[in-house]
């Protein structure tokens, strides 16, 4: 409980030194047939503090709807408004044809600092209470509290952890090609709220990557006119240039333990995968090949590194041990596979995929069945990034000549579009689950 509270307080701090940004609007393009009917009943507000504009139950309801797996009931269809389990009359909810209801209230924390979200998930058919919890929330962090509640409800009903209490990083470019062209690296909640500019620059910014603790971002900046790899602490705002060798400094990826950064450096003549120890700054070269070797991605256990290489003529995905040994090709379908993102248990690999160099789409390679699923239908889709629970993929796409973000479920059934009102959006990166 104490450590949970501290984490929530830290996320409040994150917002302070940063600059506000236009918010992404998330539109659902496709949902699932037969999504689960659920009712999130308005939570009682029993706190001394003024109630925020977006009530907790609305955030939970919107989260569940956005996942495509639930069909939350409209608030004005609810006849009863229970806030504690004894008040629930299950027969009424059965008549309304919902399977589950979420009820609760927001109260002031017993220690006087912040609030608690007390919530219950009930099975309408069996009348059982599936979940009951009082979640402590730091002052001003009710939104994140609502995301945590959604994570718990989702995990209880779907069987895998939710990824609502997460953030996304992306690059927004305004006045593209114009005299005031500006690149901004933005971090927002996974539902698009609280967008904050982490860094802005008149020169290109690309390839954001999250630290495993969700507190640091690594990215590539051309601020000096050449590429540099930067690591920035989101809480303190502190930045460090971790690589500025002659040639390319690109494609950063934190190791799962957060102590090392895999990058692509061309200081040896062609882009190769290197690993930088973030404490000592020492650099170790893992690949040594005349071809392009870039876009490293660590296996979840840190034992292997996947990367893009065109050593066989065209770009494909390869894997090697984390010391550079035992290089093996892993993608065989399509004449172009790049920028791999690794899904659950390394079974699913998402890539930028092309068959004939005209359409570049997001595809998932299932390494168990050796089958390929093309998930997007754009012409210039790029930068796939798995949600930390493997359920959804975020990627960059183009629509009417503009960069937009899109999300698709790993099975291809659920689609969302994330639109920024002002600029070109690209290069999404989904954070780990924030605890």
Partner 1 sequence: MKTAIRFVALVMLAAFLAACARDVREEPTAPEPPPPPPPVEEEVDRVDPRDFTDARNLDNPDSLLSQRTIYFEFDRSDVRAQFRPIIDAHAAYIQGNSTARVILEGHADERGSREYNLGLGERRGNAVEDLLRAAGVAGRQIEVVSYGEERPVCRDSSEDCWQRNRRVEIVYTAR
Which residues in this chain contact partner 1 in the complex, by CB under 8 A?
Answer: 176-177, 204, 206-207, 222, 225-227, 247-248, 250-251, 264, 266, 270-271, 292, 294-295, 308, 310, 314-315, 336, 338-339, 352, 354, 357, 360, 379-380, 382-383, 398, 401, 427
Give kind and range of the element (H or E) at residue 120.
strand 115-123
Q: Please, which residue, 43 or 298, has the CB nearer to partner 1?
A: 298
Q: How near is the Cβ of 427 to partner 1 at its closest, in Å?
A: 7
Q: How near is the Cβ of 227 to partner 1 at its closest, in Å?
A: 7
Q: How near is the Cβ of 159 to partner 1 at its closest, in Å?
A: 33
Question: Is residue 279 classed exposed, middle or buried when 0-12, 13-18 and 19+ CB atoms within 10 A define those classes?
Answer: exposed
In contact, 98 and 38? CB cutoff 8 Å: yes
Which contacts of 314-322 are long-range, i.e. CB under 8 A and separated by 24 or more positions?
317/349, 317/351, 317/365, 318/293, 320/286, 320/287, 322/255, 322/275, 322/286, 322/298
Q: How near is the Cβ of 358 to partner 1 at its closest, in Å?
A: 8
Q: Pull the structure tokens for residue 258.
A: 């957060």
Q: Please, which residue, 145 or 271, has the CB nearer to partner 1?
A: 271
Q: Pull the structure tokens for residue 142.
A: 């009710």
3-state SS assignment for residue 158: helix
Q: Please, which residue, 150 or 308, has the CB nearer to partner 1?
A: 308
Q: How near is the Cβ of 10 to partner 1 at its closest, in Å?
A: 31
Q: Please, which residue, 226 or 367, has the CB nearer to partner 1?
A: 226
Q: Pull the structure tokens for residue 406.
A: 């899109």
Return the residue matching tokens 């209470």: 129
Q: How near is the Cβ of 275 to partner 1 at its closest, in Å?
A: 16
Q: Please, which residue, 294 or 389, has the CB nearer to partner 1?
A: 294
Q: Please, which residue, 50 or 225, has the CB nearer to partner 1?
A: 225
For residue 405, give every residue at least 6 positions away whose Cβ sits within 8 Å of its Cβ, in sequence order, or none: 24, 170, 394, 395, 396, 397, 417, 418, 419, 425, 426, 428
Q: Please, which residue, 121 or 169, has the CB nearer to partner 1?
A: 169
Q: How near is the Cβ of 398 to partner 1 at its closest, in Å?
A: 7
In contact, 331 and 316? CB cutoff 8 Å: yes
Q: How near is the Cβ of 300 to partner 1 at its closest, in Å?
A: 21
Q: How near is the Cβ of 296 to partner 1 at its closest, in Å?
A: 10
Number of Cβ atoms within 10 Å of the Cβ of 158: 15
Q: Name the nearest CA neighbour of 138 among 164, 122, 115.
A: 115
Q: Please, which residue, 152 or 218, has the CB nearer to partner 1?
A: 218
Q: Please, which residue, 83 or 354, has the CB nearer to partner 1?
A: 354
Q: Pull the structure tokens for residue 62.
A: 């919107």
Q: Name the nearest CA neighbour of 101 among 60, 159, 137, 136.
A: 60
In contact, 142 and 115? CB cutoff 8 Å: yes
Q: Please, which residue, 117 or 338, has the CB nearer to partner 1?
A: 338
Give kind and range of the element (H or E) at residue 2.
helix 2-14
In contact, 272 and 286? CB cutoff 8 Å: yes
Q: How near is the Cβ of 37 to partner 1 at its closest, in Å?
A: 41
Q: How near is the Cβ of 204 to partner 1 at its closest, in Å?
A: 4
**Which sign does the torsion angle of CA 94, 96, 101, 102 carry?**
negative
Q: Please, which residue, 68 or 250, has the CB nearer to partner 1?
A: 250
Q: Torsion-angle region of residue 176: left (phi > 0), alpha (psi -120 to 50) or beta?
A: beta
């Amino acid at each position: 409980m104490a450590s949970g509270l501290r984490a929530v307080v830290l996320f409040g701090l994150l917002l302070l030194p940063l600059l506000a940004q236009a918010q992404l609007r998330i539109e659902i393009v496709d949902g699932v047939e037969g999504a689960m009917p659920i009712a999130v009943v308005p939570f009682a507000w029993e706190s001394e503090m003024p109630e925020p504009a977006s009530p907790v139950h609305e955030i939970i309801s919107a989260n569940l709807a956005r996942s495509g797996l639930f069909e939350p009931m409209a608030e004005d269809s609810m006849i009863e408004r229970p806030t504690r389990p004894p008040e629930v009359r299950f027969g009424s909810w059965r008549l309304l044809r919902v399977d589950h209801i979420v009820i609760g209230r927001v109260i002031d924390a017993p220690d006087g600092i912040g609030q608690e979200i007390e919530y219950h998930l009930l099975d309408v058919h069996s009348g059982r209470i599936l979940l009951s919890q009082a979640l402590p929330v730091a002052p001003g962090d009710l939104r994140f509290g609502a995301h945590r509640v959604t994570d718990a409800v989702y995990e209880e009903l779907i069987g895998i952890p939710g990824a609502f209490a997460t953030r996304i990083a992306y690059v927004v470019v305004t006045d593209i090609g114009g005299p005031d062209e500006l690149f901004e690296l933005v971090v927002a909640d996974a539902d698009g709220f609280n967008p904050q500019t982490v860094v802005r620059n008149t020169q290109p910014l690309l390839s954001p990557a999250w630290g495993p603790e969700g507190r640091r971002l690594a990215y590539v900046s051309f601020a000096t006119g050449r590429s540099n790899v930067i690591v920035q602490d989101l809480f303190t705002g502190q930045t460090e240039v971790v690589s500025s060798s002659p040639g390319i400094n690109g494609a950063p990826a934190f190791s799962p333990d957060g102590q090392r950064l895999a990058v692509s450096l061309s200081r040896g003549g062609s882009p190769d995968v290197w690993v930088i120890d973030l404490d000592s700054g020492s650099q170790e070269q893992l690949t040594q090949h005349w071809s392009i070797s870039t876009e490293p991605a660590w296996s979840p256990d840190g034992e292997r590194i996947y990367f893009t290489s065109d050593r066989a003529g065209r770009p494909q995905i390869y894997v090697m041990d984390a010391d550079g040994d035992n290089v093996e090709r892993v993608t065989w379908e399509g004449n172009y596979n790049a920028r791999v993102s690794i899904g659950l248990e390394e079974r699913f690999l998402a890539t930028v995929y092309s068959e004939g160099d005209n359409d570049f789409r997001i595809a998932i390679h299932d390494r168990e069945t050796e089958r390929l699923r093309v998930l997007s239908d754009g012409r210039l889709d790029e930068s796939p990034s798995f949600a930390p629970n493997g359920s959804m993929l975020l990627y960059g796409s183009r629509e009417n000549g503009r960069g937009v973000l899109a999300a698709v479920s790993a099975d291809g059934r659920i689609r969302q579009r994330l639109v920024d009102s002002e600029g070109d959006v690209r290069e999404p990166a989904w954070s780990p689950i924030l605890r």
